[in-house]
Amino acid sequence: MRLSDVLSLEETILPGIAFNSAMDNAPVGLRYNTVTTATGAPAGTVQLFEIGPNPFVQTTNVRFSLPEACQAQLRVLDASGRELWQLEKNYSSGYQQETIRLEGVTGALVCEMTTPWGVQSVQLVAVE
């Protein structure tokens, strides 16, 4: 149920009275916006957070949040698009974290997450 379905203003019961900066009557109304999470992203969407540490040496963590349980794929690609690491599994809804381990890899990389809601990516840097 949405808040806008159960909450409204009824002028015949209690008139809404407000004043603007010039002390003139101003209209009062309720306005409902899209539901968002603490990070500002719309609720019910996939969120791929920044990877940390970044830059990293051999090991880093990818964090993300899923609106529903689903199968998701994580991949790390180098600048030429070559796949260096891949993980595919079923996740529950909510916050998730996976550890990425890459030995002998340096340079700019991309971590890509594929879910039923689309593909998101974030950049990372591997150093020695």
pLDDT digits 0-9 by tens, 27-44: 777 776 555 555 555 556
Lowest mean pLDDT among 8-12, 56-60, 105-109: 8-12
**Which single residue is written with the structure tokens 């180098």?**
78
> DSSP strand E in the chain: where?
18-19, 25-26, 47-48, 59-66, 70-78, 83-91, 94-101, 107-115, 118-126
- Spatial contact of 28 and 9, defined as CB atoms under 8 Å apart: yes
Whether 110 has a pLDDT exceeding 70, the answer reads yes
Domain ranges for the chain, please list them: 47-126
Confidence of residue 17 (pLDDT cuts 50, 70, 90): confident
Whole-angstrom distance between the N-terminal and C-terminal Cα of the chain? 52
pTM of the model as a whole = 0.65
CATH number of 47-126: 2.60.40.1930
Residue 53 has pLDDT above 60, yes or no: yes
Give the angle 65-51-114 at the CA atoms, nearest 5°: 50
pLDDT at 36: 52
